[in-house]
Amino acid sequence: MFELISLILLVLVIYLIYKNLEWRFKFEERVRKYIEEKEEEIRRDAIERSSKILSGKALEKLVPLLKSFNHSPHDVRWLGDPIDLVVFDGASNDNPQKITFVEIKSGKSELTEKQKKIKHIIKEGKIFWEEIKIE
């Protein structure tokens, strides 16, 4: 009787191990198929976003040449991040009058949280001059 119960338990354990492996295999197969199906979509989306970013970066450098740009292109210094441009109005004529921070956005893009904080700091006038001399 003990041998029969042991045999039944052994068969049951083997069956459960087999089922566990079968479920794991099915799960891994589903995950693999899902990744394969989504991979092309993810790559296409990444390429599209990348091209938008690259074209945006290129256009940012051309904005100072537009007629609607209210500053001399000679007074512009390109930063790129976190703010696109800094304009030293009048600097090209050796007569700087003001400094303007310019962020260029296109379409529906909005300021990032960091850019919003920088804008707030500028609006509050928390801008300082620091000179460091190295000897």
- In this prediction, residue 131 carries a pLDDT of 94
pLDDT tens track for 55-92:
878 888 889 999 999 999 999 999 988 999 999 999 99
Higher pLDDT, 105 or 117: 117
Q: Does position 2 have pLDDT exceeding 80, yes or no?
A: no
Q: Tell me the HSE value of 66 on the side-chain side, using a 13 A CA sphere.
A: 9
Which residues are 134's β-sheet partners?
none
- In this prediction, residue 94 carries a pLDDT of 95
Please report which confidence band the pLDDT of residue 101 belongs to, taking 50, 70 and 90 as the band edges: very high
Q: Does position 36 have pLDDT exceeding 80, yes or no?
A: yes
Please answer whether residues 82 and 118 qualify as being in contact, where contact means their C-beta atoms are separated by less than 8 angstroms: yes
Q: Does position 121 have pLDDT exceeding 80, yes or no?
A: yes
- In this prediction, residue 134 carries a pLDDT of 95
Q: In the structure encoding, which two tokens stand for residue 53, read together?
A: 């970013």
Q: What angle do CA 53, 56, 62 make, to 5 degrees?
A: 155
Tell me which residue of 39, 44, 85, 83 sits closest to 62, measured CA to CA.
85
How much of the chain, in percent, has pLDDT values that exceed 70? 100
Amino acid at 100: T
Rounded Cα–Cα distance for residues 8 and 10 (Å): 5
Q: H-type helices in the chain, by residue range?
A: 2-62, 113-123
- In this prediction, residue 125 carries a pLDDT of 94
- In this prediction, residue 53 carries a pLDDT of 80
Tell me which residue of 93, 115, 120 sits closest to 104, measured CA to CA.
115
